Chains A and B, each alone.
Chain A
């Protein structure tokens, strides 16, 4: 079986598993081989436990043989190394935790494990998620698979690079001040930053407890919806998780109904984002074209007058945890 791993969505993996085109063990082995080949260059993964992953894959194959057909069953994924995983080293990108093998497990991870996802390993991050480039890890930089001379963004840079390079079908990341969204943009994948409280933080090594949220790095919004449907929801272990119904993200993520799904959509960006020092190609290439404060109605002209304080407020409030 030859896999096109960089293009393998969660949906495609499930379709292949369901039809019997391949087993989870075969798929997991293919990902492990690709990780062996590419990770020495990319350093997206800090820890890979091939034996455990193959055992999880075999268990998933057995569940499928017994007739189970659930959205993540047998799908190989990666986990940012700030998520506590039972029996799998969890470093948070720090040498301080070099030898830490948790004896317990966080809620989002436990839910994915129960759903039959296969954990290939743990991905690199800025130390304790404090960074925006994955250069500040105790275990070296992660490289952007599109151009290895560039950073993947961060702090979930290992997860973003792993998805972009086809080293997993999807990955979990975490976002306190952009750490899912920004590396997703740098690596050309889809990043879903959940609203605070949507996913339990139990078992997430804290950065800023009033802002941390667990999110998804995926090939597309549809896949992100599938993973989020598993991890979202109230948890007694996190008093700040929201006790709200979890919507059906997958059916809400409709396929585009036309070739130009954004036709007529107006996108706003606060004028305060267009600061001096912005790179000209960035301004020309995207942001500049969406400068609505120049061209649209009164309601869009208000901007965010305190924006210039955001950096100070963000940096200080991150450390309230």
Chain B
């Protein structure tokens, strides 16, 4: 079971402000996710090759990957909560207030 301190640290990394009740509830839920991982760790996979994809795909150079017509700037910014007309405006993520983690 995750401790309250562990849940609070995860919440801080995700920029989530949890109430005490929420932290308790999510401790149970997050622990259940880890239990699933623990359950799978018990499976013997000796000799079974990893499956990254069910498809027979491999990385290739894209011969046809030429630049097309870009979206107009106004379209790109259309859904921005905040914009100066040329760029997205977002809260600073570096500097004062940055969590130690």
Given the interface contacts A103-B71, A197-B55, A242-B55, does A309 sit within 8 Å of B79 by beta carbon? Answer: no
Given the interface contacts A101-B79, A312-B36, A315-B36, does A306 sit within 8 Å of B43 by beta carbon? Answer: yes
A246 close to B (CB within 8 Å) = no
Query: Contact between B55 and A236 (Cβ–Cβ < 8 Å)?
Result: no
What is the interface size of chain B, counting residues whose CB is below 8 A from a CB of the partner? 17
> In the assembled complex, how far is the CB of residue B70 from the closest CB belonging to chain A, in whole angstroms?
11
Query: Contact between B37 and A103 (Cβ–Cβ < 8 Å)?
Result: no
B92 close to A (CB within 8 Å) = no
How far does the alpha carbon of A239 sit from the alpha carbon of B55 in the complex, in Å? 10
* Selected contact of A236 from candidates B54, B57, B64, B78, CB within 8 Å: B64
* Selected contact of B39 from candidates A236, A240, A312, CB within 8 Å: A312
Given the interface contacts A236-B64, A312-B36, A315-B36, does A196 sit within 8 Å of B54 by beta carbon? Answer: yes
CB proximity to A under 8 Å, residues B39-56 = 39-40, 43, 53-55
A279 close to B (CB within 8 Å) = no
Query: Contact between B36 and A240 (Cβ–Cβ < 8 Å)?
Result: no
A104: chain B residues within 8 A (beta carbon): 71
Query: Contact between A239 and B79 (Cβ–Cβ < 8 Å)?
Result: no
5 A-B residue pairs with Cβ-Cβ distance under 8 Å, sorted by A, are: A99-B79, A210-B53, A236-B64, A316-B33, A316-B36
A residues adjacent to B (C-beta < 8 A): 99-104, 196-197, 210, 236, 239-240, 242, 306, 309, 311-313, 315-316
Beyond A210-B53, A242-B55, A312-B37, 16 extra complex contacts between A and B, CB < 8 Å: A99-B79, A100-B79, A101-B79, A102-B79, A103-B79, A104-B71, A196-B54, A196-B55, A210-B54, A236-B64, A239-B57, A309-B39, A309-B43, A315-B36, A316-B36, A316-B37
B residues adjacent to A (C-beta < 8 A): 33, 36-37, 39-40, 43, 53-55, 57, 62, 64, 71, 75-76, 78-79
